[in-house]
Each structure stands twice: as structure tokens, then as C-alpha cells.
Amino acid sequence: MCENTRTKTQTQYASGKNLHARGNFHATYSNKNWFRWVADRLTLAPGMRLLDVGCGAGWFWANIAGSLPKGLHLTLLDQSPALLTEAGKNVRSTGRFAEIDVIVGDATELPFDAETFDVVTAMHMLYHVPAKSVAMEEAFRVLRPGGTGHVTTNSEENFRAVMTLGNAAYGGPDLDPAAVLFGPEDASNLLQDRFTDIETRVYQDTYAVDHAPDVVAYLTSMPPGNEASDEQLEQLLYLTEAAITAGGGVLNVLRESVLVSGKST
């Protein structure tokens, strides 16, 4: 990872504040369970060894632990020590895993032997990695033959209604910035270089947002909203309130994400 990008990512996730702001938005307005939807498509079995690259605060595993097979060995890897500390607490509190390892590491230099894991996941994180092909090579290297790799990201339509408001207020992108950097087609192409049986599955939900400050909190948890001036934030709040009023009391926001999966050979 180049130093400039590494520094920006480390700053963004130096604490869990920004991640929690976005997580709270989803928790408040989602109608479906994203975690459960993904878990149902991982095809896990007792005794498997799992690696989650860029695990963040470990919310995924903490939320689905009760429905997982017993005896799983889970390794959580992230560059942020603060998030890893939280992830370890969140996942260990479930008491559902045979073993949990928490490791500070880089997706492009995984500190594991070849053919160590049955499943590798990289959920909503590869857009932070400049050398995405190197990260995928590493994921392939540490997977056992017949293992599966899973990548999640957003489509360009994801949260377009929210991103458009940010664009109007302070000139940010009018598309999901994660999807611009690494969208569904990028994910599919990346896995096709090494994996077989590539499958792309789409998740959709519609959020009925009725509280304008929640939109402001979401947008200011990421660049460039986190650098907006007070005047720009006032404009963002005004535009969001107007959009909610125009929508009869709600701003309908499409969430659209994808899960791209493949098998190692």
C-alpha cells in the first residue's frame, strides 16, 4: 500500500468513530439483515479455519455467531489496532468459536503459511487497497485447494440519494465512492484471475430515512464530508431536510451491495 493511502486509511480508522457512524445508520434504517444474508452464502462447516481480512470491529462474526457451525477457527486481521481490540472483544463475547486469533496485518502481506485456511473473506475493504491484485494473490495463496474466497463491495447505485446530497452541498462524489474505486465488476474480474466458479450475488434494501442529522452524520464519517466547512454542513442539513419533506416525510435510499465468491484450485 502506498504511504499516502496507508496514512489516510489509518487516520480514517484510528478509532471506531467513523465506522460506528456508518454502522449506526445501517442499524437504524435497514429492513433486512445484511450479515445473515452473507453468512447464508459462505457454506461453512464445523472445524473450518476462517480468515477475515480487514475485519473492522468484528460486527459480522458477532452478529451471526449464534447460527454458525460449532468448532470454527477464526482469524481476524486488520491494520487498525483499535478496531482489532474491539473486534476481539465483540467476537470472543459470543463464546461460539473454537479459537479466535486477532492479528494486525496487511492484506498484501498476509503473515500465514500457504494453504492455511478453508475460507477467506474481504468484506467492504478492498477499495482501501491500491495493490488489489496482490491482495487477491495473497488470499489465494493462504487458501487450501477447494477453499473459497469471498469479497463484498457496493454498486454505484448504492446510497445514490445520499451521495447526491453530499455532492450538492460540498462537491463530493454523487456515486458511492467505494463503488467507484472497486465495484462489482472489479471484484469479479479480480477473482477471475485465480479463482474458479465465480458467482456474483446482489443484495438490496431500501432505507426510509426520516431524520436529516443521520444523513449528515453518515456523510461526515468519510472523505470529503469529514472536511466540509460549517457553511457546507448547514447546506447539507438544509438540502436533506428539503428532500425528506419532498418525499412525504422520508428519503428513500437504496442500499445495493454484492457478494462475489470463487473457489481455489
Mean local confidence (pLDDT), 102-120: 98
Q: Answer whether residue 18 shows pLDDT above 90.
A: no
Higher model confidence: residue 28 or residue 16? 28
pLDDT in the model for residue 19? 83
| Residue 66 pLDDT class (50, 70, 90 cuts) | very high
| Residue 247 pLDDT class (50, 70, 90 cuts) | very high
Contact 216, 22 (CB under 8 A): no
Higher model confidence: residue 4 or residue 200? 200
126-185: pLDDT as tens digits:
999 999 999 999 999 999 999 999 999 999 999 999 999 999 999 988 999 889 999 999
42-53: pLDDT as tens digits:
999 999 999 999
130-139: pLDDT as tens digits:
999 999 999 9
Task: List the single range of 4-18, 124-138, 192-206, 246-260 with lowest mean pLDDT.
Answer: 4-18
Q: Residue 72: helix, strand or coil by DSSP?
A: coil
Contact 5, 128 (CB under 8 A): yes
Percent of the chain with pLDDT over 90: 89
Q: Answer whether residue 15 shows pLDDT above 80.
A: no
Q: Long-range contacts of range 173-177, CB-CB < 8 Å, 24 or more positions apart?
A: 177/127, 177/222, 177/223
Task: List the single range of 15-24, 61-70, 201-210, 233-242 with lowest mean pLDDT.
Answer: 15-24
pLDDT in the model for residue 175? 92
Q: Kindly compute the dihedral angle of the four CA atoms of residues 51, 57, 62, 68, in this order, to the nearest 10 degrees.
A: -20
Residues 6 or more apart whose CB falls under 8 angstroms from that of 165 comprise 215, 219, 236, 239, 240, 243
122-132: pLDDT as tens digits:
999 999 999 99
pLDDT in the model for residue 193? 87
Q: Answer whether residue 237 shows pLDDT above 70.
A: yes
CATH 3.40.50.1450 describes domain 3-154+174-203+257-263: no
Residue 188: count of CB within 10 angstroms of its CB = 17
pLDDT in the model for residue 113? 98
pLDDT in the model for residue 16? 57
Mean local confidence (pLDDT), 215-240: 96
pLDDT in the model for residue 17? 81
Average pLDDT, the chain: 93
